[in-house]
């Protein structure tokens, strides 16, 4: 007389083994991160011993102290990058500065797009990296473009002028060695667009959608800054407001409010955060009194 023993197939995770389905899902998620790579060249003049940007540009031009860099900007995941203003991208390439050498390799370069400045609330595009000069010393370059609607037609000027400081070492510290302004030539814009290369996919449709999403994000941010409408565009998952509120105790007070969504950890989870900063100025001493209140929402 024969008999059968029922066999129950248990998932491998019960025996301390990883679930292949989860591993493969994580691999697929990582592989689905479609990136973007493009080139940008900026050039201008810096002067040593000067802190003011405009003065440094003028003196640098008189002295012939030109600086330029040819950068390759790599966004690992465009979908993550356009979630929230200010996410970082890798910056590589070479830098040339007359007093320090030509075609020097850029090290640990970082690029951010439309990051709100904590001090002013204005959005910025930042470029920073370090390099080793022909004198054997390390130098740190930090540049920013101010994306802010001033009186007049200033959008093009804001998008093309990089206010630049050069420091000793591999990070910001102390008084700048040199200061000035670098410029992106408008005539180079077509070549920059032509350099757009979508990474981590072979699909022509995905490539087109990726470039379109990035361009729409940039256009949306620029439009909100220079051509604001009466209604905030809620398609973007971040909000930054700056203005004044009336206070019965001390008169008008400045405020800076932010709210947005950002990555919480490497597993791809996100969290929402918001906060508000209030401050007023003391007329007697000229000092600044700051009251802060913040709140995180998970």
- What confidence tens digit (pLDDT) does each residue in 17-31 have? 555 554 444 444 554
200 pLDDT exceeds 90? Answer: yes
Q: What total number of domains does the chain contain?
A: 2
**Mean local confidence (pLDDT), 75-94:** 88
Q: 135 and 260 in one domain?
A: no
Closest CA to 39 of 130, 139, 129, 111: 111
End position of a domain, from candidates 178, 193, 208: 193
pLDDT at residue number 284: 45
Split at pLDDT 50, 70, 90, the class of 35 is: very high
Q: 128 and 52 in one domain?
A: yes
Per the model's pLDDT, the better-predicted residue between 152 and 260 turns out to be: 152
The answer to whether the predicted template modeling score (pTM) of the entire model surpasses 0.95 is: no
Closest CA to 78 of 20, 117, 38: 38
215 pLDDT exceeds 50? Answer: yes
**pLDDT tens digits along 48-74:** 999 999 999 999 999 999 999 999 999
Beta 107-116 vs 123-132: how paired, if at all?
Answer: antiparallel
Q: 248 and 129 in one domain?
A: no
Residue 281 lies in a domain: yes
pLDDT at residue number 196: 95
Enter the tokens of residue 268.
């791809």
Q: 253 and 187 in one domain?
A: no
Percent of the chain with pLDDT over 90: 46
Q: 178 and 44 in one domain?
A: yes
Per the model's pLDDT, the better-predicted residue between 262 and 149 turns out to be: 149
Range of the domain at 113: 35-193
**pLDDT tens digits along 219-229:** 887 777 777 66
């Amino acid at each position: 007389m024969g008999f059968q023993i029922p066999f129950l197939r248990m998932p491998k995770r019960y025996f301390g083994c990883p679930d292949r389905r989860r591993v493969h899902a994580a691999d697929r998620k990582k592989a689905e991160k479609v990136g973007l790579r493009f080139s940008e060249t900026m050039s201008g003049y810096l002067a040593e011993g000067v802190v003011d940007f405009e003065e440094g540009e003028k003196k640098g031009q008189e002295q012939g102290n030109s600086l330029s860099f040819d950068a390759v900007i790599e966004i690992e995941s465009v979908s993550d990058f356009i979630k929230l203003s200010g996410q970082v991208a890798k910056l590589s390439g070479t830098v040339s500065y007359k007093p320090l050498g030509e075609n020097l390799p850029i090290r640990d370069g970082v690029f951010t797009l439309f990051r709100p400045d904590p001090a002013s609330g204005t959005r910025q595009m930042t470029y920073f990296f370090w390099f080793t000069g022909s004198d054997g010393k390390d130098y740190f370059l930090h540049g920013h473009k101010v994306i802010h609607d001033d009186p007049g037609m200033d959008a093009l000027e804001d998008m093309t002028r990089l206010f630049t400081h050069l420091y000793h070492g591999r990070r910001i510290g102390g008084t700048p060695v040199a200061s000035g302004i670098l410029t992106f030539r408008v005539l180079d814009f077509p070549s920059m667009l032509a350099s757009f290369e979508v990474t981590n996919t072979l699909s022509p449709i995905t490539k087109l959608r990726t470039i379109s999403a990035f361009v729409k994000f940039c256009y949306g941010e620029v439009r909100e800054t220079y051509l604001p409408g009466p209604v905030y565009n809620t398609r973007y998952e971040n909000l930054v407001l700056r203005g004044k509120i009336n206070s019965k105790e001390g008169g008008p007070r400045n405020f800076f409010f932010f709210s947005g969504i950002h990555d919480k950890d490497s597993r791809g989870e996100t969290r929402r955060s918001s906060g508000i900063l209030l401050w007023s100025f003391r007329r007697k001493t000229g000092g600044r009194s700051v009251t802060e209140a913040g709140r995180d929402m998970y």
